[in-house]
Structure formats: structure tokens, C-alpha cells
């Protein structure tokens, strides 16, 4: 496994590996797993899928300052470089890209902005202005640096996944976006680096977020159709849990990520939620139709 913290050597290594691993007319495929580090089982599932589908696997580890707001947790975002490298080696990663901020963005002001309209108007985009511009900026840079054939994202961050899909489509990037199912703890809590922030008491409460989504889905499958009442019931329930405050809980059209108030057989609908458990903001979602 090779670890690069500079763009030029990374590109050289990828070119060399592509040449060495190309078999006849079949060019060696490169799979990219973009991460901010502090890797857990969710990241591992993305890496394993990339390993199964590509000759070359690249994992990027970069805590991107452009996607953090002024009052968010950039400085305290958890880091575990040694453990991350050990996990990547165990899973057969070929290259880890670990640039610093200067390598990614230089020392001057960044003037370029990558913005996808509409899809960031609700959910996390409404709560975190500019967040997805930062995501699109770093992801587009990684795509230009690594030139992957496929990139792997988890469905827990469904808005991020959808926005990146649209960016790739609109900019004609020749990259396959592979969505991977959310990996959960035994009690249903979605795996997240931010789970490390939870106190023992908060950790016991947090699984109720996904259980609430499951309860709503079960009520819909039993015949209930008043989505606004179901939404209200769920928000009321979560807000009355100790240390919990709902940021949003919305039924959204999966293509536009805009809120819907009724089921439509012609559209996929997800129920998406963000809840503060203490000071920690946790997100999750569940496919409804």
C-alpha cells in the first residue's frame, strides 16, 4: 500500500498501476472512496465494494474545511490516521491520498465555486448553507486528481449522494457513482464518525432516530396516507426524547429532494431526518416508496 500526500506523485502512481494492471483490451479500473478519515465499518463496506469491482483502489482522507460552517466542528472532527491506514491495508487498498489543506487549495483565496441548484435547498442544505458547495468542490477536485472509473458513496448521506450524481451528470464526468447501503450498529444506529461525540447516555437514545423512521414506514405500509400527520407525530416523539431536538424530518422526492405531502407511485420518496442529540447532529433516512 502506498501513501501519498501530494497530487503529482499520486497521479504518477495511478498511471503506473493502470499500465501494470491492464489486461489486454481491458483497461485497469480505478475505484475511489472519498473520506474524511476516522474510518469505521461503513467506510469499510465502501472499500470492500470498490476492491471487488476494480483493479486499483484509492482512498482519500481529507477533512475538507470548505464544507464546515463557522460554528461547526472542523477542529474537533475526530482523527485516527494510524488506525485508518491499518484498516486500509487490511482491506487491500492500493493507494491512500492524504493531502493537507495547502496541497488541495493552495495558500491564496479559492475563487472557484461548484454549485448544484435546487438539490441543496432543503434537508442539510437548508441547515448548513454552503456545505454542499464545499462537498462538490472537493469531490470534483478529487475526480480530476484521481480520474477514477467509479466512486463509492454511502446512502446515509443521501443528499450528498444525489448532489454528486447530478454534478457528474451535468458536467459529463465519465465516472460511475456507486451508492452503497447504510451500515448500522446492531441497535440500528447508522454508523457515523460523529457517533464518537455521543456520551454513553446519548448513545443509548440515538437508535430511536432510526426506530422512529421504521415506525412511520410501517404505518404507511399499513395504509396510513396522511404524511403531514405522520411527520408531526415523529417530530413530536423525537423532540420529547432526552437531549434531542429535531433539525428536520421531511418526506422528499428522491430526484429533486423537495418535500412532498402525498405518496406518488411514479416517484421514489425518502423520509430524511436530522436530529441533535446533545450537541451532536445525526442524520439518517429511509426509502418509503
**Active site positions, annotated:** 43
Gyration radius from the chain CA atoms: 20
Q: For residue 174, report the phi and psi dihedrals to the nearest 5 degrees.
A: -80, 60
The three-state secondary structure class of 267 is coil
Grid coordinates in use for 43? 467506510
Cα angle 276-280-286, degrees, rounded to a multiple of 5: 60
Number of H helices, E strands in the chain: 10, 9
Distances (CA, A) of 166 to 67, 68, 115, 224: 18, 21, 11, 32
Query: Residues 281, 193, 142, 61: is their CA dihedral positive or negative?
Result: positive
- Interatomic CA distance for residues 272 and 124, integer angstroms: 10
DSSP 213-245: HHHHHHHHHTT---HHHHHHHHHHHHHTSTTEE
Amino acid at each position: 500500500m502506498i501513501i501519498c500526500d501530494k497530487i503529482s506523485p499520486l497521479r504518477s502512481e495511478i498511471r503506473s498501476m493502470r499500465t501494470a494492471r491492464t489486461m489486454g483490451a481491458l483497461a485497469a479500473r480505478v475505484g475511489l472512496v472519498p473520506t474524511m478519515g476516522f474510518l469505521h465499518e461503513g467506510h469499510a463496506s465502501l472499500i470492500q465494494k470498490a476492491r471487488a469491482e476494480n483493479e486499483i483502489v484509492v482512498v482519500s482522507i481529507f477533512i475538507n474545511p470548505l464544507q464546515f460552517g463557522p460554528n461547526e466542528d472542523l477542529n474537533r472532527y475526530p482523527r485516527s490516521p494510524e488506525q485508518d491506514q491499518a484498516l486500509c491495508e487490511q482491506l487491500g487498498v492500493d493507494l491512500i491520498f492524504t493531502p493537507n489543506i495547502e496541497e488541495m487549495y493552495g495558500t491564496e483565496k479559492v475563487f472557484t465555486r461548484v454549485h448544484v441548484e435546487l438539490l441543496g435547498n432543503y434537508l442539510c442544505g437548508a441547515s448548513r448553507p454552503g456545505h454542499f458547495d464545499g462537498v462538490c468542490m472537493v469531490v470534483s477536485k478529487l475526480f480530476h486528481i484521481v480520474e477514477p472509473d467509479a466512486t463509492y458513496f454511502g446512502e446515509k448521506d443521501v443528499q450528498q449522494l444525489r448532489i454528486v450524481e447530478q454534478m457528474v451528470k451535468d458536467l459529463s464526468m465519465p465516472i460511475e457513482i456507486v451508492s452503497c447501503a447504510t451500515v448500522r450498529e446492531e441497535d440500528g444506529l447508522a454508523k457515523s464518525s460523529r457517533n464518537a461525540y455521543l456520551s454513553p447516555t446519548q448513545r443509548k437514545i440515538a437508535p430511536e432516530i432510526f426506530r422512529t423512521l421504521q415506525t412511520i414506514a410501517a404505518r404507511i405500509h399499513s395504509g396510513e396516507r396522511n404524511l403531514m400527520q405522520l411527520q408531526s407525530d415523529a417530530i413530536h416523539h423525537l423532540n420529547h426524547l432526552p437531549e434531542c431536538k429535531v433539525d428536520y424530518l421531511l418526506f422528499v422526492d428522491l430526484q429533486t429532494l423537495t418535500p412532498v405531502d402525498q405518496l406518488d407511485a411514479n416517484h421514489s420518496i425518502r423520509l430524511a431526518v436530522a436530529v441533535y442529540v446533545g450537541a451532536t447532529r445525526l442524520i439518517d433516512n429511509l426509502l418509503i416508496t
